[in-house]
Structures are given as structure tokens and as C-alpha cells.
Chains A and B, each alone.
Chain A
Amino acid sequence: MDMSTTEVRPARTSLLSSPALSTVLPWVVLAAIAATLPLYAGGYWGVIATRACVYWVLVAGLNLLVGFAGQLAIGWVALLTVGAYVTSVLAAGNVLPALHPYLALAIAGVAGAVFGVIVGLPALRLRTFYFAITTLGFATIVRQIVLAWASVTGGGVGVPGPVFPAPFDSQWGFYYLCLIFAAVCTWMTANIAGSRFGRALTALRDAEVAAEASGIAKSRLLMVVFLFSGATAAIAGGLFASLQSYITPDAFTTELSVLFFIGVLIGGRGSIIGPLLGTILLTVLPEFAAPLVAWSTFLYAVLLLVIVLAIPGGIAELIDFKNRRPLQSNRAIVPRPDLLKRLLTQDTEPGRLTLEQVALSFGGVRAIDGLDLTINPGQVHGLIGPNGSGKTTTLNVISGYYMPQGGVAKLNGVVITELAHHARAQMRIARTFQTPRIVGEASVLENVMIGGTIDGRGTFVESLLSLPRHRADEKMLHETAMLALSAVGLEQLAGVRADRLQHSELRFIEIARALMLRPAFLLLDEPAAGLSAEEIRRLGALVVAISQAGTGVLLVEHHADLIFDICHHVTVLNLGKMLAAGTPAEIRSHREVVNAYLGG
């Protein structure tokens, strides 16, 4: 099939606006069962269902942290404890005059948000296992404090939980209150999941370096999510206290924390319905057989081990029928460079990207040694040289992963060497990677949309509530991403999970993602590695078209033919120093270059 004649599909037929039946059906069934439960279920099941709703209010927020952002917060019960005690103590009037239960619940939410950030702070500095341990430590500490601070919390004796006024004071009434909270949390987290923030979180989880290169500021985004997850967990705590009607520190065990955490993982990372089903499963499972209750945590742990080893995708992967369909096997990437003009509209004249006397050593090795380089807009600048000559290091200095020990990098005369790496995206500097950095579990389209994250206008709260600016952002990002995918020739695969694609296709996805930034300068790190001869030819045409649209391209490559075909200017590095610079014709006949690198 000749894909070059395929029209760019309008956004109207997208997956977002006309979801397949299989994605809607589970929600309809769940909502129908939940809403009609009192008609056929006994009071005991009412308690179980209420508990599932309360747990889900917490797990929904935790899901953004664990399932999307990949932060292994195993001690999140600490937030449930904070919420339960703040609500109960304020509503009971132990310290202050008794407050209205709703007001107490709202204050608990605020306290939870603050505490969520405190628990989350170490995540910005520490790696996975370290962070997991610190959250576990927080859970232990909170429990000990509650136990010791008897004058306020009642210590080991406990405090009565709040009672919400009519119509939510009866058993089913309270169930509906919790169901409303659960439904709202589901809606809000689903909004985030489908927003640029949700995609940015998965990018931070699976391709952190690429996320930062796309301008995603990790610390800010994570803090917001910690705020939200803390608040929902604390509100769940207030509801939990009311459900228990009396709380003691014994109610907030590590086992409960593990239940929440495992609920997310059994459900599957990066999904909303999966963890919801996981939470229901874990809440209901022990009820089917009374002898199982003592063994429930044991069974959860076994389940977790089985899931991790056998189906890392969890329930969400099991019910993801869409991605089971085989892909066409003999597909070709046919870029459409003519679309680039529509995509790469420059607002202002970008000026030149220059390196001046840049030097960087690793230990005793001088990776770059006093390098001068100028990249002009609208030109392709080739950077070649033997392995270890400093090509990728140069690229990393420009995109901010290394701070040079000497010299500066400037864009249009402005020094950029001091900027954080995610700030380079604001300067419209985009890049690709030697090994493609892709979110395997996200669709191709979502991967490309990540590249446009910084062009969204709406805030996190607007996305949470699906306000107009959020919807406008999504529409804009969706249309631009489809255009970028069409430009690189992958629009047919937009809805496919990225980890099902071939290596060469991942390289073109990275280029599409970089194009989303409307880059003034595009840094390509060995984009032709692993491509067939035909694909390299198409890549070359695409890169030329990108430069003709006004973007300056820095091309690091080992394929000498490609370099000499498409570059306006070539710099040859050897041992961190410039060996030669000039037009392709000059370089090709340069004696030292031929001896050191090209071969005679």
C-alpha cells in the first residue's frame, strides 16, 4: 500500500473522542452495579462495597504516583492515618471546638496534601528502593506518633470516627457518599491520565531523560501529584474513620498499605480501570472464604509475585484486546516532508547556536578539549569522528546533561550552559537519543504528544476538572502530533503500543516527538543506526526538509555517505578536539580525516 497518498486523518476519528466499545463497556457495567447495589445486596455486602469505595478514593490518587509516575510509595497508609485522625479529632472536638464533619474532612484533605509533599520530597533526590524504604519509614513513624500522642489521638484507646449528617448517616446513605467520592476521583484521575500531565508522568517513569529533554520539569510535576495523592488519601482516611466508627492505631497496618500498593500493580501500570478492578478484587477476595481472612496479606503477596513475574502489565494488559491484533508485517516508513512547513512555523528568528572553547573531562580523560562550533539555522551540520571522540558528549553539553568545565554554549548570544536541562526545551532545542527513549506502554501517538508538553496552556487543576483550556490543549496536541506522525510517515501506527514497533520505527517516533517542539535546533544522535539503506535515504530527505523549514540540525552519525549527502557543513572530531571543519567536499579530501577516520 502506498501510504504517501494517505490523507492526514482529522482529529474527529481519534481514539480519544470515539472510544471503542470495549473500553466503555467495563465502566458502564461497573457504574450500573455500583448504583443499584442496595436493590439486591445485603447489608454486609454494603459494608464491603463501602470499604472498596473508600480504598479506591486512596488508590485512585496513589495510582497516579505508582502506576503513572512509577514512584514506589509502599507506605501510603501514612496518609490514610493522617486523614482519619485529623477528621476524627476535629469532628470530635478533642482539641478545638467540634467542627462540622465536612469541614473536618476538607481540613484533613489539606493536611494530607501538605503531608503528601513531605513524604514525597525524598523522591526528588533518591532512587526507587531508597524512596520505597523512606515511605515505609514514614508509615511506621506516623503510627508511633499517633500511639504516643494520647491526649489528642486517644493513644491505644482510639477516637470515635465522624458521623456524616443525613442523608448520609444510614448505612446505604454512607455508601452513596463514598461512591460519589470514588466516582469523582475516578473521573479526575482519568482526566489527568488523558492529559499532557498524565503522559508526562509516564515519560518520567519510563524515559526520564527524554521527558526532561521535552521540557518536563520532574520536581514540579511530581510535587503536584504528591499534593493530589496526599489529599485524596487523607479524604479516604476521613471516610475510613467514619466507616470504622471507631479508630485505633491498630487499624493502620503495613498490611493495609501493601493492599493499596498491590491493588495498583495488580491492576497494571498506566491504567485507571485496571487498578480499580484490582482494588475491588483485593477488598472482596477474602470475603468469599472466612478462613482466608488471616491469609489475605499472604495471598496478596503471592498475587503480586505472580503478577510481577508472569504478567507485568496486570489486569489492564489482560483486558487490552485492541493491542492483541497482529500488525501488518511488511510495513514501510514513508515520510511526507511536504507537511513539515505546516508543522515547523518559527515565531522568531532563532539566531545561531554556538559553542565557544567548551572543555569537559571525565576523571583524567578529556572528552571535549576546547571545542568551537557554530550551527546555523536552516542548515544541517554534521558531526563525525571515531568512537570516543566526543560527539555525543558535545550533544549532551548542548542539551544540558553535562555542565562543561570550561567555555560556554550560546543560543542567539544568550548563554544556555547554566540552564537546567528541561529549560532547553523552552529555548526550542530538541533532540533524539542513540538508544531510542520511548514509553513502551503508551501508544505511538501519546509518545509523540509528550514532545509538545510545554506548549499546553492549561494547569494541572484545569486538566483535573477537564476545563475548556485542557480540552483545547488536548485537541491542539492531538492534531499537531498526528501531523508530526504523518510527516515522518507513521500515522498508520498512531494507536499502537509503542513497544510493539520495530527499532527503525522508534527512531522516527523520536524525530516526530522532537518536531513537536517546533525546534529552532534539532540534535540527532545517530538517527541512522540500525536503519536499512532505503530507510536511511528517506531519513536523509526528511532531515533536509526539516532544515529547509528553518531548523538548524546537528547530526551525529557514523554513516559517512549520509553525512556527505545532506550536510551543509561538517565538523570532524578526534580525541575531543576539532580535527577538521568545512564543506563535505573539503572534508572528503582532507588527508588527516581520511587517515584517522574515513579510511583510504
Chain B
Amino acid sequence: MVLSIVLSGLAIGCIYALIGIAYNVMYSASRVFSFTAGTLGMAGGILGALFILKMGLPVWLGFLLALAGGALLGVVTEILAVRPVLKSLDQHLYVLSTLALALIVQQFAAIEWGTDAQPFPRIFNIERNSFDQQFWLPMLACVVTIVGLEVLYRRTLLGHAFRAIAEDNYAARALGLPERNLRMASYAIAGVIGALAGFAGGQMMLAFFDNATQLTFYGFVPVALGGMGNNRGAVVAGLVLGLFQQAANFLVGGVFASVAVFAAFILVLLARPEGLAGVALGRRV
């Protein structure tokens, strides 16, 4: 029993962490939090079920197409909801534009895919056991993503360019970096990560339109607690959140688990608005 709580907690935590990383990747490139982060996770689940179960494509092809769908959604977010409002960042219009786009995508999914949670295919045709693929797939996805991002950011020229943009946008542009293309690429990467989270977690969360709302909230908790733009903080906070949620679920039941998670989230934020691992705000005047 304890084992299954820990396993499912870690698995869910990895999904939240991945959505948190998607938030962070978009934030680093544009200083914008996007409400579409959870929608990417929803898309990963629904597209995976659509391609593999409904259309009968091979698993590997369905997987790649689902990730491509996430990337496309990321790019569309950048073009439609982020780029037009970047010049007036202080008016916070991005909150509204990304919320609108997230709703558009989610409602489209609700109408075209249906409002019921639908099954997600098993990826590997192997026996179920206590350490089932539905648990280790999200963990694997999380590890691959972290290692991949680390290699990308630290070892490649493109990654250095991403970090330059995140560090100091004006200086990066003054150096002649193609800021707009890099931003689009970042959003595409965020799209892939979000869709990967939804795909890897599909067997746990199913192909369900309302996952968008759930993931938008629970995926933001690691960002808020781990400090914005801080991927390591997001992973730690995501895992803690997943474990806490599953344990509370088992010990006190679903509703009180939600209330407990939410109360903890609010209290931590009120005590430290910049997150447990974040830095305080800069000057105002």
C-alpha cells in the first residue's frame, strides 16, 4: 500500500514537474506565464489516444505525432497569444490572451473529443506488476527531459543563446541573436515537454479534456514554490506535491486532499511570494 502511494505520488509529481518545466521554458523566453501549459498536457493525452487507439497508428508514430502536436500548439501560443502583447508587458494582457487561447483549445477538445475521460493505450505490451509502466513512464519522461534540457542549455550553442535571452533580453538582441525565432523555438520545446507529460501520464490521467484545468493549476504549484524559471526547484516541488497529494488522498480522502494541497500552496506563497527557492523582486521606482 505504502509502495503504491509512493509510486503513484512520484509519477503524478513527475507529470506536475514536467508541466512546471513547460511553464518555465516559456517564461524564460518571454517573461510570460502562459495558461496554455496545462492545455499542452491535455493535448498530449488526447492526441496519443486519438492517434494510437482511434486511428490505429503504431505506438512510436502516435507518440511522435502527439509531440509534434504539442510543438505546434506551443508555436501557435507564441504567435497568437504572446508576441502581440509582449510590448505592453506591464499591462498583463498576456494573462488574458493566453487564458483565451487555452480556453479555445480546451473547448475545442471538449466538443470534438467529448467531455468523458477516455482510455489511453498501454505503450509497452508487458505484464502489469507493482512497478507498472503507468508509474515509470512519467518518471522516465521527467529524467529524459531534465537531462535533455541540461545538455541543451549547457552544451550546445543554441542552448547558450536560450540562456542569453533568458538572462538579459536586450543585451541578447544587441548581440544580434534572433530573439523572435529563439522565442518560437522555446515555445515549441515547451509544447513538446507538455505533450510528453500528457502522453507519459496518459495511463494515469486518461485522455480527458478537463486535465487542462487540473494541470494548469497543479503544474503551476511547482513553479510558484520552486521559484519561477528554476527547473530543479520545479522538479523537487513537483515530486513533493505529488507525494503529498497521494498521501493525503489515501489518508483523508479526495476532497480534503485537494483542500490540503491548496491550503499549503496558498500559505507557502503568502509567506514567500517569490517561492521557496526564488529571489525577491527588483526595484519599483
A interface with B by C-beta (< 8 Å): 70, 72, 74, 121-122, 125-130, 132-134, 136-138, 140-141, 144-145, 147-148, 208-209, 254, 258, 265, 294-295, 297-298, 300-302, 304-305, 308-309, 312, 392, 396, 401, 433
Q: Are A129 and B255 neighbours in the complex by a CB distance under 8 Å?
A: no
Q: What is the interface of chain B mostly: helix, strand, loop, or mixed?
A: helix
B33 within 8 A of A: yes
A305 to B93, CA, bound (A): 10
Q: Are B103 and A297 neighbours in the complex by a CB distance under 8 Å?
A: yes
Q: Are B285 and A133 neighbours in the complex by a CB distance under 8 Å?
A: no
Residue of B nearest to A133 (CB): B220
Residue of B nearest to A149 (CB): B255
B154 within 8 A of A: no
* Chain A residues, Cβ within 8 Å of B174: none
* Chain A residues, Cβ within 8 Å of B81: 305
Q: Are B107 and A298 neighbours in the complex by a CB distance under 8 Å?
A: yes
Q: Are A309 and B84 neighbours in the complex by a CB distance under 8 Å?
A: yes
Residue of B nearest to A434 (CB): B285
* Chain A residues, Cβ within 8 Å of B280: none
A298 to B209, CA, bound (A): 13
* Chain B residues, Cβ within 8 Å of A129: 33, 92, 95
A308 to B98, CA, bound (A): 10
**Given A72-B92, A129-B33: A305 and B269 interface contact (C-beta under 8 Å):** no
* Chain A residues, Cβ within 8 Å of B95: 72, 128-129, 132
Q: Are A309 and B97 neighbours in the complex by a CB distance under 8 Å?
A: yes
B108 within 8 A of A: yes
Q: 9 A-B pairs, CB-CB below 8 angstroms?
A: A132-B95, A132-B99, A137-B266, A140-B262, A144-B259, A148-B253, A148-B255, A298-B108, A401-B284
Q: Are A304 and B259 neighbours in the complex by a CB distance under 8 Å?
A: no
Q: Are A301 and B104 neighbours in the complex by a CB distance under 8 Å?
A: yes
**Given A122-B269, A126-B273, A401-B284: A301 and B103 interface contact (C-beta under 8 Å):** yes
A-contact bits for B177-218, CB 8 A (1 contact / 0 none)? 000000000000000000000000000000000000100110
A258 to B96, CA, bound (A): 11
A180 to B84, CA, bound (A): 42
Q: Are A128 and B107 neighbours in the complex by a CB distance under 8 Å?
A: no
A300 to B107, CA, bound (A): 10
**Given A74-B99, A308-B93, A433-B285: A137 and B270 interface contact (C-beta under 8 Å):** no
Interface size class of B (residues with CB under 8 A): 35 or more
Q: Are A144 and B269 neighbours in the complex by a CB distance under 8 Å?
A: no
Q: Are A144 and B254 neighbours in the complex by a CB distance under 8 Å?
A: yes
Q: How far is the CB of A446 from chain B (nearest CB, A)?
A: 19
Chain B stretch 46-88: residues in CB contact (< 8 A) with chain A = 80-81, 84-85
**Given A130-B224, A130-B269, A305-B104: A265 and B96 interface contact (C-beta under 8 Å):** yes
Residue of A nearest to B107 (CB): A298
Which of A121, A133, A312 has the largest number of chain B CB atoms within 10 A?
A133
Q: How far is the CB of A207 from chain B (nearest CB, A)?
A: 10
* Chain A residues, Cβ within 8 Å of B96: 72, 265, 304, 308
Seed contacts A125-B269, A133-B216, A265-B96; 9 additional CB < 8 Å A-B pairs: A125-B270, A140-B213, A140-B258, A140-B262, A145-B255, A294-B111, A301-B99, A308-B96, A308-B97
B100 within 8 A of A: yes
Q: How far is the CB of A490 from chain B (nearest CB, A)?
A: 24
Q: How far is the CB of B57 from chain A (nearest CB, A)?
A: 27
Residue of B nearest to A310 (CB): B84
Q: Which of B85, B217, B269, B270 contacts A136 (CB 8 A)?
A: B217
Residue of A nearest to B284 (CB): A209
A438 to B285, CA, bound (A): 14
A301 to B81, CA, bound (A): 12
Q: How far is the CB of A562 from chain B (nearest CB, A)?
A: 22
B265 within 8 A of A: yes
Q: How far is the CB of A428 from chain B (nearest CB, A)?
A: 20
Chain B stretch 147-162: residues in CB contact (< 8 A) with chain A = none
A308 to B255, CA, bound (A): 36
Q: How far is the CB of B234 from chain A (nearest CB, A)?
A: 15
Q: How far is the CB of A145 from chain B (nearest CB, A)?
A: 6
Q: Are B258 and A144 neighbours in the complex by a CB distance under 8 Å?
A: yes
Q: How far is the CB of A128 from chain B (nearest CB, A)?
A: 4
* Chain A residues, Cβ within 8 Å of B254: 144, 148
B43 within 8 A of A: no
B139 within 8 A of A: no
Q: Are A298 and B269 neighbours in the complex by a CB distance under 8 Å?
A: no
A302 to B220, CA, bound (A): 24
B12 within 8 A of A: no
Closest 3 CB pairs of A and B: A301-B103, A305-B100, A298-B107
B25 within 8 A of A: no
A128 to B96, CA, bound (A): 11
Q: Which of B85, B220, B285 contacts A401 (CB 8 A)?
A: B285
**Given A125-B270, A132-B95, A295-B111: A302 and B259 interface contact (C-beta under 8 Å):** no
B142 within 8 A of A: no
Residue of A nearest to B275 (CB): A130
A312 to B213, CA, bound (A): 25
* Chain A residues, Cβ within 8 Å of B164: none
A133 to B222, CA, bound (A): 13
A385 to B255, CA, bound (A): 61
A208 to B80, CA, bound (A): 29
Q: How far is the CB of B132 from chain A (nearest CB, A)?
A: 27
Residue of A nearest to B269 (CB): A126
Residue of A nearest to B88 (CB): A312
Q: How far is the CB of A502 from chain B (nearest CB, A)?
A: 20
Q: How far is the CB of B224 from chain A (nearest CB, A)?
A: 6
* Chain A residues, Cβ within 8 Å of B253: 148
* Chain A residues, Cβ within 8 Å of B97: 305, 308-309
* Chain B residues, Cβ within 8 Å of A128: 92, 95
Q: Which of A254, A294, A308 contacts B100 (CB 8 A)?
A: A308
Q: Which of B84, B99, B108, B217 contacts A137 (CB 8 A)?
A: B217
Which of A121, A129, A141, A300 has the largest number of chain B CB atoms within 10 A?
A129
Q: Are A305 and B258 neighbours in the complex by a CB distance under 8 Å?
A: no
Q: Which of A132, A148, A297 contacts B107 (CB 8 A)?
A: A297
Residue of B nearest to A206 (CB): B91
Chain B stretch 210-250: residues in CB contact (< 8 A) with chain A = 213, 216-217, 220, 224
A341 to B85, CA, bound (A): 46
Q: How far is the CB of A120 from chain B (nearest CB, A)?
A: 12
A476 to B75, CA, bound (A): 54
